[in-house]
Chains A and B, each alone.
Chain A
Amino acid sequence: QQQVKQSPQSLIVQKGGISIINCAYENTAFDYFPWYQQFPGKGPALLIAIRPDVSEKKEGRFTISFNKSAKQFSLHIMDSQPGDSATYFCAASRMDSSYKLIFGSGTRLLVRP
Chain B
Amino acid sequence: NAGVTQTPKFQVLKTGQSMTLQCAQDMNHNSMYWYRQDPGMGLRLIYYSASEGTTDKGEVPNGYNVSRLNKREFSLRLESAAPSQTSVYFCASLSRGLREDYGYTFGSGTRLTVV
- Which A residues lie at the B interface, using CB under 8 A? 4, 6, 9, 32, 34, 36, 41-46, 49, 51, 89, 97-106
Whose C-beta in chain A lies nearest to the C-beta of B108? A43
Interface centre among B4, B42, B107 (most CB of A within 10 A): B42
**Contact, CB under 8 Å: B42 / A98:** no
* Chain B residue, CB-CB nearest to A34: B103
Bound-complex Cα distance A99 to B105 (A): 13
Q: Are A43 and B40 in contact (CB under 8 A)?
A: no
Q: How far is the CB of A83 from chain B (nearest CB, A)?
A: 19
Top 10 nearest A-B pairs (CB, nearest first) are A43-B106, A46-B103, A103-B42, A103-B43, A105-B42, A49-B101, A106-B42, A98-B50, A44-B106, A43-B90
Report chain A residues within 8 Å CB of B50.
97-99
Residues of B close to A51: CB separation below 8 A: 100
B63-86 CB mask vs A (1 if < 8 Å, else 0) is 000000000000000000000000
Q: Chain A's nearest CB lies how many Å from the CB of B36?
A: 11
* Complex contacts, A32 vs chain B, CB 8 Å: 102
Asked whether, in the complex, the Cβ of B43 is within 8 Å of the Cβ of A99, the reply is no
Q: Which residues of B contact A42 (CB under 8 A)?
A: 108-109
CB distance from A60 to the nearest CB of B (A): 15
Which size bracket describes the interface of B in this complex?
20 to 34
- B residues 38-72 in Cβ contact with A at 8 Å: 40-45, 48, 50, 56, 58-59
| Residues of B in contact with A (beta carbons under 8 Å apart) | 4, 31, 33, 35, 40-45, 48, 50, 56, 58-59, 90, 92, 94-95, 100-104, 106-109
Of chain A, the residue at the smallest CB distance from B40 is: A105
Question: Using Cβ atoms and an 8 Å threshold, which residues of chain A touch B108?
Answer: 41-43
Smallest CB-CB separation from B109: which chain A residue? A43
Query: A106 — which chain B residues lie within 8 A by C-beta?
Result: 40, 42
Instruction: Contacts A46-B104, A49-B101 given; indicate if A99 touches B31 (C-beta within 8 A).
Output: yes
Contact partners of B41 in chain A: CB under 8 A: 105
A99 close to B92 (CB less than 8 A)? no
* Interchain CB contact under 8 A, B31 and A98: yes
**Distance, CA A9 to CA B4, complexed state (A):** 28
